[in-house]
Chain A
Amino acid sequence: MRPPAFDEDELRALIDLGVSILVATRSAHLEPHATRATGLRLLGGDRIEVLLPRATSSRSIAHLEDNGEIAVLIATPRTFAAMQLKGRATGFTATTPEHLELSDAQLRAFADALAPMGQTRKQARNAWSFDAIVVSVDVTSAFAQTPGPGAGARVGGTRDG
């Protein structure tokens, strides 16, 4: 049995700190594209879901529909501790109330993390309160991304993606 691509417990602990979720995709011409996601959900078996707001992520969604290549960075603004997951988008679905509830809870935690830096909760939450699409991702590799000499080191097992 292959080892998991990442440690779900470790990632959950990070998410609890209040995180920003950043997504990179790329075009057919290898042009990179960055967007902010919400509502990261760990489904087990190296599968995750993220919500991409349509208003700010139309190109990301088009890229994923085209080639599926995705990188997801989970980072806490408080200390910059971070983990990056790489893999392929495997499906797109509409949001359910459960997704929105999770997204809201994560935005609240993120706003709490930003509050000491002068950010108002209202601002942090408003930034991403848009109609979103749910992207399912099959994670093939994970990387420690906390700034320092260990940044970029692979964590967990490897899968051919």
Chain B
Amino acid sequence: MAEPTALALRLRELERCFQGVVPTAIATCSPEGIPNVTCLSIVHRVDDEHLALSFQFFRKTRANVLAHPAAQFLVFDPVTAVQYRMDAEYVRTEHEGPTFERLRVTLDAVASQTGMTGIFTLHGADIYRVRAVEELAHDLDLDDVVGAPDVVRSLETLSARLESCEDLDELLEVTLEGLETLFDHRQSMILFADGAGTRLYAVASRGFAASGVGAEVPMGHGLIGTAALERRPIRVTNFWKEVTMVEAVRAVAGDRAPATEVAREIPLPGLPNVGSQLAVPILARDRTIGVISVQSANPGRLTHVDESALATLARYLAAAIQLAGARSAPDALSGRSYARPPAGESPVRVRHHASDDSVFLDDEYLIKGVSGRILVRLLGICERDGRVDFTNRELRLDESLRLGGFRDNLEARLILLRRRLEERTPAIRIVKTGRGRFRLELTRPFELARVP
């Protein structure tokens, strides 16, 4: 066989074609001469000459190429509508290595998000070498095509804004606001990992019907949990297609795999009919700080460019979060003010369950875990001493809060608690009074009840 020659069009220039927006077709032929054509669920570009297809279910295509390796792909650029035809040949199936891992992680994430863990299984990554690429005739006016936004400039702008943020609260706000105004990601959220590294909790979101702040995701579950556990970005370009596949699997499997319900009191923010989603871990050396995730109602909206941009942004954010933590750490309480909660109003009934540190306000769930412990601690001090001014530092040193050293982000827990209070009641508020300082503002008295 002749040595492969460089392609006139490199596959990287056709990256948009592989995102699953418009089906990619693959034609093969059986040894008996019967042609076959099918749409591909996942096409990954390995390098400038190779494509990888996920091998999940045995298909005619596979049987054909194992017997007779010639194949032809027909791809469609979803932006320009130009079509390309690629002569290719099946070369091997990989069961390990970076390409297999990339396919496996995405598949695992979708499987766990759709309750299909153990049913969606990657058997292998089928590698094809592309020998020739041909652009098909068209009469399109390509001048009409809207150019891609300048991602580098947007990153420069947003990273500069992050540098000037004072604290974590501002960092989160600026990040999500920038994702919308500079990158047109209208639905976004940031989750932080807890101190034990077993769960993630939503600390900020933008563009969803409900903020979902306080929602928890187990590490390794769904796109977000998998991105955190595997420490790599995960992107699903066409969720509608995945849903079709899930429904097809359920129909064939006689619905033996009901969706996995993850117990959580606050639903994770999400679009009702999500088309595409991207989750990128926020990493600090060996530690996973959290995950930043964007969603779109449209399949194909989130591309490899968005993935690279968000991964870069996550690095800026990780550095900025660590810097903000270092800045706020040495702050001490300068003046302490004391105030009694106002009398006359009916008291807010605050119920604390020690078993999971869940807190209910007037029988409505508010929060649990570390944030729950913090609120009860603050109210306890207020009840005992009448004090309402606090510092982050004293909380960080408070052993009763069991913060798990520096691994649990106290600032993130406080932001979460403040936002949950804002959503649930006007009676109790946490208000920033300076860097590393805050005040408990009470418009009604409270009754603190502790139950096991």
Contacts and interface: CB of A to CB of B under 8 A. Distances in A.
Q: Do A and B bind each other?
A: yes
B39 A118 contact: no
B21 to A, nearest CB: 5
Given A148-B252, A149-B253, A80 B81 contact: no
Contacts, number: 186
Interface string B58-97: 1110000000101111101011111101000000000000
B72 A34 contact: yes
A139 interface: no
Contact of B34 (A71, A82, A120): A71
Contacts of A12: none
Nearest to B57: A149
A26 B29 contact: yes
Nearest to A161: B34
B300 interface: yes
A95 to B, nearest CB: 17
A79 B252 CA distance: 17
B22 interface: yes
Contact of A20 (B22, B82, B241): B22
B282 to A, nearest CB: 28
A32 B71 contact: yes
Interface centre among B27, B28, B137, B298 (most CB of A within 10 A): B27
A90 to B, nearest CB: 16
Contacts of B70: 30-32
Contact of A30 (B25, B68, B83, B247): B68
Contact of B21 (A23, A31, A77, A84): A77
A117 B78 CA distance: 8
Contacts of B41: 80, 147
B248 A148 contact: yes
A34 B22 contact: no
Contact of A151 (B38, B73, B80, B85): B38
Contacts of A73: 25, 37-39
Interface stretch (A3-11, A39-47, A98-106, A125-133): A125-133
A81 interface: yes
A72 to B, nearest CB: 7
A96 to B, nearest CB: 22
9 contacts: A31-B70, A33-B27, A55-B136, A69-B34, A71-B34, A117-B299, A119-B81, A130-B137, A147-B241
B240 A78 contact: yes
Interface residues of A, number: 52
A129 B139 contact: yes
Given A73-B37, A77-B21, A147-B41, 4 more contacts: A33-B27, A84-B38, A123-B144, A150-B252
A135 interface: no
B275 A149 contact: no
Q: Which 9 A-B pairs have the closest CB atoms?
A: A148-B248, A24-B37, A123-B81, A24-B27, A34-B27, A24-B35, A32-B27, A34-B74, A55-B137
Interface centre among A86, A145, A148, A150 (most CB of B within 10 A): A148
B235 to A, nearest CB: 15
A120 B240 CA distance: 19
A61 interface: no
A54 to B, nearest CB: 9
A22 B21 contact: no
B26 interface: yes
Contacts of B252: 148-150
Contact of A71 (B35, B241, B253): B35
B15 to A, nearest CB: 16
Nearest to B28: A32
B299 to A, nearest CB: 5
Contacts of A82: 23, 38-39
B451 interface: no
B59 A148 contact: no
A36 to B, nearest CB: 7
Given A34-B74, A77-B22, A116-B275, A145 B38 contact: yes
B74 A22 contact: yes
Given A118-B78, A124-B81, A80 B244 contact: yes
Nearest to B142: A123
B76 to A, nearest CB: 8
Interface string B10-47: 00000000000111011111010111111101000000
Nearest to B26: A34
Contacts of B248: 146-151
Nearest to B62: A152
Contact of B301 (A67, A118, A127, A148): A118
B8 interface: no
Nearest to B253: A149
A24 B82 CA distance: 19
A38 interface: no
